[in-house]
Amino acid sequence: MTAPAARRGIAVEQAVVYGLLTALGLGALVMALDYGLFLEESRVGPGLVPAVVGGLTALIAGWELIATLRGHRTPHDQGLAEVVAAAAVDAPRGGASSQSAAPGGPPSGSSGSMSPDGGPVQILGSGPGPDDVDIFGRTPEDRSRQLWTVSAALVVAALLVPLLGLLGSLFVLSVFVSAVVERRGWVPSLVVSFLAVAAVYGVFVGFLGVPLPTGLIGIGG
Amino acid sequence: MLDNLVLGFSTALSFENLLWCFVGVLVGTVIGVLPGLGSTTGVAVLLPLTLSLEPVTGLIMLAGIYYGSQYGGTITSVLISTPGEASSVVTTLDGYQMARQGRAGAALSIAAIGSFVAAIISLALLVALAPPFAEFALDFGPPEMLAVMVLGLATIVSFAGDNRRLGLLMALVGLLIATVGVDPGSGTSRFTFGSIYLLSGIPFVEVMIGLFAVGEVLYQIRQGAAAPIRAGFRELMISRADLRRSGGPILRGSFLGFVFGILPGAGSTLASFMAYGIEKRVSKRGKEFGTGAIEGVAAPEAANNAAANANFVPTLTLGIPGGATTAVLLGAFMIYGIQPGPLLFDEQPDLVWGLLASFFIGNVILLFLNLPLAPVFAQLLRVPYGYMYPLILLTSLVGAYSITNGMYSVWVVLVFGVIGYFMKRLDLPMAPLVLGLVLGPLFEKALVQTSAIGDGNLLVVFTRPLALVVLAIAVLQLAAPSIMARLLRRRATTRSRRSDPADSTPEGSTRG
Amino acid sequence: MKRTRSAVLATTSVLALSLAACGGGESAGGSSAGGGGFTPRGDVTMIVPFGAGGGSDLAGRATATMIEAANGDVNVNVENREGGSGAVGYSNFLGQAGDAETLLATETALLALPISGDVEFDYTDFTPIMKLGDDYTLMIVSADSPYQTCPDVVEAAKAERITAGISGITGLDNIVFTLTEQQTGVEFDRVPFESGGELTAALLGGQIDIASLNPGEIIGQLEAGEVKALCAFSEERYADYAELADIQTAKEQGIDVAFAQFRGVLAPGGIDEAARQFWIETMQAAVETDEYQKYIEENYLQANTAAGDEFVEYLEGNNQLLKQVLGG
């Protein structure tokens, strides 16, 4: 049940990346031809290197794309696959999935397209596998949501700089990530963030004299 | 020669010079720890602070900042996978994996020891052989540099991990990113889409902060919080076996680094990549590289430190900067009213020899400062990642901003952070991309110059003996690795069975 | 050393203060219409459109110290805004229109960037305050080269291939080579490099035949006798520098080419007349300070200053010449 879904998930994700790279390479090749491969007297022109590099990129990425679409792909233990797999089975399974189900689904169930060295890979010291709950009891979906929240928060923080100033907006980011995403208390979050921002201010502004933008309401000049 | 050394040490060992050397090393380490601030920015930004000092003292302090900040970059490479500059990218490959196994203390210690040994070796070479080496460096014209760049790109083979095609693909992507901006030959703006920000290309340091620091944070969030890394006291200290394993890599890395460091341009980056590649080939534990092999930290650290010192060969003997940081240091010479150039050794012997002696002293200070501190730094990893990553994000973004004093840098970091996250998820190797990004502009410049020198004929490369030698090495590296590796591994396995029982490291990440 | 330096600083700032006071007096009397009532509020920012440590950065920082020495009430902070070979800094500066508390350390990129067509500003969008000096180039060959004068090189170029290293298409060296070609009808084969240091190495290593370098970039090798200077592409000889005074100008040798990279100070566009006057007078006082002398001498510039409208005139002439060379 899990394995085909997982495999399809990997394939989709890889196909998207290789597709993008193929397009990137082709785009570069076309634009580079426009810049001119050679100048007069057959000197190397501005387009030569990008054209060759772009062409090769498209070639290799295209090769990988086709291989992925045809099912001959390198095995992966982490990726969209787990999200798909987890979404498919996780509702009944609930919180604590076992270590044996991790990572990457059962490799034995797959066809010969998987290479023999593609077994589960795990970094020692990073406790949970992708399908497990971590030490704070967070499921993969929780973590996926956190990832999106943090990514979005980073963008919002960067957008807020003209208003709050760089340090002001990073202070808000830090408090938000600590208190909301990591669910720590508001007081420690505020204190730690404040100390961090003060330290950064001391080093960058006080010592190195980097002029940081203050924003409209003038925090953290 | 001996008189000069005595003169140098008597200058460098004065109380004031010792003090400022120490301050420089310390401040440099702090600068290096901050993302975005490498040795070049560190020296440039702190230059005004040294103006009230005597020229020798000021230069000694600046040199201290130079190698202090390189070590600072190593600390973050190992602990949070954030290299301070291109030359410590390779250190993240095994250093960070060691840290995740609770062996950050050993990784930091071997980096300090390797850097120290390399510094001493390269200083001895610098003192004894600077003029002939400088002449040698001048023989490297554009065709020779083109050959060196080909050799550099050939090392990608060593970094491709299990899948060479993917490694090559990532290197190509790096090369492609490097072509953005105004081209070196004709001044055409390429892939800029009308943006003034893209005219000077996609900025390298921002890309690194994004890929490594932010990308790793995002990846760790998705991976979930692990129990903090608890390492016993014994694991924090470097073991005798570690030292034995690292001896050869450090020596090879030092000499390699010195030779590449003399060449202007990408010396130290190329040296660290090459040193890693060679060790991976030569080592009996080649398979372990990328999963926390201590040789993978020792060799590149020795190489980039030796290269940093070798950068001073053309700087001091010819008055031509060997790298970005030495260029800023040359600027400092001018501000002090000292004319850098070939006459420097004759006209300012106390200054030159004092500076050289201070390199030695500075490296001793660095070693004594960092060996005891390595386990302390390693303790930082006991802080749960959930508490640490907001701080990593905070300093990364401020560091990025400070590079150009503009929000553009921050956006570049965020975009490449997302790219880095996906690369980690899909197991796409990052080191080849960085190598492509670093070598791309140098490769293209050498190509354009060679074509100009050869009057449109690139085959001029084959008429230069030195270039031919370098090209031959590159071909060897591409063609012969399997033979060489097989030979070496057969010899190695028989030996390792006997000598090293602690060889059963579990299979680790295949990244890199 | 430390003490002497600060003593010099102290005396110059006293001197400068009195000078600034004189300047202030003049402006109060002279430009009653403009008001002379402008004084900067808070700190002044000096934007350097290039990274820390380069020639532009040195100029910007030196100018900041000069201004502070000339007028003790003004505090100048230097801010590097690098990117796009200066395009990012200038374009940001365009957005500062009307803000008389911001200045920019300018040089030839102000003219070269608009001609290359990638940016949306030109020099008329800003308020030129003061030209500080000219950085000319010398024609340099290695010591064992057979050429003794610039015409020797031109003569040789008629018969054989002469490779000329340049530091970029809009570099000063490419401009003087192009002007020389237009003058004499010969052609040099260009090999692009990226800095004076690279060019010096290429000359010493015999990779190129000629290069055109700023005196400050090559003085060390020149004094060591490893390279020789054939002529200076300047209006006047470097008479103030003993080590350069013997080098003939190209004009003396019969090639009418002189082109300098200028260093100067810009204020943003759209500032009022009082502010413009204030900065012109401040800069006029600044170029009388010891800090100015020190900057000029250490960088081997020629101290040709031009304030306000004179600077504008200079820019107009220079712009025409550049357009003709770069084909804008």
> Cα dist. B172→A20, C33, C261 in Å?
14, 64, 38
CA distances from A73 to A7, A115, A121, B163, C206 (A): 10, 9, 17, 11, 52
- In degrees and rounded to multiples of 5, residue C165 shows phi and psi of -80, 135
d(CA C311, CA C56): 18
C-alpha–C-alpha distance, residues B332 and C124, integer Å: 35
Q: What is the CA radius of gyration of chain C?
A: 21
Q: Do B189 and C118 touch (CB under 8 A)?
A: yes
- Closest CA of chain A from B473, distance in Å: 23
Please tell me the least confidently modeled range out of B148-162, B208-222, B463-477: B148-162
Residue B444 lies in a domain: yes
Least confident residue range of A103-107, B288-292, C64-68: A103-107
Q: What is the total count of domains within chain B?
A: 1
Expressed as residue numbers, the domain containing B217 is 2-497
Q: State mean pLDDT over C84-100.
A: 87
Q: What residues in A contact B169, CB-CB < 8 Å?
A: 21, 57, 60-61, 64
**What is the average per-residue pLDDT within B299-315?**
90
Asked if B209 and B35 touch (Cβ cutoff 8 Å), the reply is: yes
Q: How far lies B346's CA from each of B356, B508, C216, in Å?
A: 15, 55, 20
Q: Which two tokens stand for residue B484?
A: 């060489």
Neighbours of chain A (3+ CB pairs under 8 A): B, C
Q: Is C293 on the interface with B (CB under 8 A)?
A: no
For residues B511 and B427, the answer to whether their CB atoms sit within 8 Å is yes
Residues 16-75 of chain A with CB under 8 A from chain C are none
Instruction: Give me the pLDDT at residue B1, please.
Output: 66
Cα–Cα distances in Å, from B107 out to B95, B112, B116, B238, B485?
6, 9, 14, 8, 25
Of all residues in chain B, the percent with pLDDT exceeding 70 is: 89
Between B165 and A25, whose confidence is greater? A25
| φ, ψ (nearest 5 deg) of residue C140 | -115, 135
CB spacing of C192 vs B341 below 8 angstroms: no
Residues 6+ apart with CB under 8 A from C182: C325
Angle between helix B15-33 and helix B2-12 axes, rounded to 10 deg = 80
Cα-to-chain-centroid distance, residue B433: 15
**Position B339: which residue type?**
Q
Say whether pLDDT at A172 is over 50.
Answer: yes
Least confident of A91-105, B496-510, C220-234: A91-105
- Whole-angstrom distance, CA of residue B89 vs CA of residue B207: 12
CB contact under 8 A, B45 and A119: no
Give CA–CA dist C320/C175, Å, rounded. Answer: 13
Distance from CA of A102 to the nearest CA of C (A): 47
Does B95 fall in a domain?
yes
Contact C36, B86 (CB under 8 A): no
Report pLDDT for B512.
34
Q: Do A53 and B179 touch (CB under 8 A)?
A: yes
Say if CB C4 and CB B53 are below 8 A apart: no
Over residues C273-300, the mean pLDDT reads 92
Supply the mean pLDDT for chain C. Answer: 85
Our CA angle for A93, A95, A96, nearest 5°, is: 90
Residue C279 has what pLDDT?
94
In this predicted model, what pLDDT tens digit does every residue of B182-227 receive, in sequence order?
A: 888 777 888 988 888 888 888 888 898 899 889 989 998 887 766 6
Q: Residue B249 pLDDT more than 70? A: yes
Region B99-121 average pLDDT: 90
Alpha-carbon span B62 to B335, nearest angstrom? 13
Model confidence band, residue A12 (pLDDT cutoffs 50, 70, 90): confident
Shortest distance, CA A65 to any CA of chain B (angstroms): 12
SS3 C280: helix
The nearest CA of chain C is from the CA of A213 a distance in Å of 12
Chain B positions in Cβ-Cβ contact with residue A126 (cut-off 8 Å): 100, 220, 223, 226
- Tokens for A181? 């995403």
Kindly identify which residue of chain A lies nearest to residue C190, measuring between CA atoms: A43
A208 touches chain C (CB under 8 A): no
| Residue-wise pLDDT tens digits, C52-66 | 767 888 899 899 999
Which pLDDT tens digit goes with each residue over B46-100? 887 787 888 889 888 988 998 888 888 899 889 888 887 788 889 998 999 898 8
| b/e burial code for range B304-326 (CB count within 10 A of at least 16 → b) | bbbbbbbbbbbbbbbbbbbbbbb
Q: What is the pLDDT of residues C118-176, one digit of tens each?
A: 788 899 999 999 999 999 999 999 999 999 999 999 999 999 999 999 987 778 888 99
Residue contact B334–C116, C-beta within 8 A = no
Is position B512 within any domain?
A: no
Please name the CATH architecture into which domain C19-135+261-326 falls.
Answer: 3-Layer(aba) Sandwich (3.40)
Interval C281-291 mean pLDDT: 93
Alpha-carbon gap, residue B434 to B276, rounded angstroms: 14
**CA closest to B224 among chain A residues:** A134
Query: What residues contact residue A180 under an 8 Å CB cut-off, 6+ apart?
Result: A149
User: Does the ipTM exceed 0.90?
Assistant: no
Name the average pLDDT for chain A.
72
**Partner residues linked to C133 by β-bridges:** C263
**B186/C6 touch (CB, cutoff 8 Å), yes or no:** no
- Give domain limits for chain C: 19-135+261-326, 138-232
Q: For helices B104-138 and B240-262, give the axis angle rounded to 10 degrees.
A: 30
* Strongest mean pLDDT among B143-152, B270-279, B414-423: B414-423
Q: What is the pLDDT of residues B115-152, one digit of tens each?
A: 999 999 998 888 888 778 888 888 888 999 899 888 88
CATH topology for C138-232 is D-Maltodextrin-Binding Protein; domain 2 (3.40.190)
pTM recorded for the entire structure: 0.81
Residue A119 banded pLDDT, cuts 50, 70, 90: very low
- Neighbours, chain B (3 or more CB pairs < 8 A): A, C
How far from B81 is each of B41, B90, B122, B223, C149, CA to CA, in Å?
20, 10, 27, 16, 57
**Could you give the maximum distance between any two Cα atoms of chain B, in Å?**
64
**DSSP conformation class of A38:** B
pLDDT digits (tens, 9 = 90+) for B386-415: 778 888 899 889 988 888 788 999 999 999
- Band (pLDDT 50/70/90 cuts) for residue C39 is confident
Chain C: closest CA distance from residue A123 (Å): 39
* Contact criterion met (CB < 8 Å) for A209 and C77: yes
Distance CA A108, CA A110 (A): 6
Please give the Cα distance from B294 to B95 (Å, whole number). Answer: 7
Length of chain B: 512
pLDDT exceeds cutoff 90 at B30: no
Residue C269: CB atoms within 10 Å: 16
Tell me what percent of the residues of chain B surpass a pLDDT of 90.
20
For B220, the 3-state DSSP assignment is helix
8 Å CB contact between B491 and B282? no
Residue B294's nearest CA partner among B255, B219, B237 is: B237
